[in-house]
Amino acid sequence: MTKQTGKCALCGGDLAFKYRPMPQWNVSGFICSKCYSQKLLEHYITPDRQNITKK
Ligand SMILES: [Zn+2]
- CA 44–ligand 1 middle distance (angstroms): 18
Residues whose CB is less than 8 angstroms from the CB of residue 7 and which lie 6 or more positions away in sequence, other chains included: 13, 14, 15, 29
Q: What is the pTM of this model?
A: 0.67
In the chain, % of residues over pLDDT 70? 71
Q: How far does residue 15's CA lie from ligand 1's centre (Å)?
A: 8
Fill in the amino acid letter for 13: G
| Distance between Cα 25 and ligand 1 center (Å) | 13
Centre of ligand 1 to C-alpha 24, Å, is: 17
> What mean pLDDT, rounded, does the chain reach?
82
CA 30 to CA 21: how far, in whole Å? 6
Can you give the pLDDT at residue 40? 92
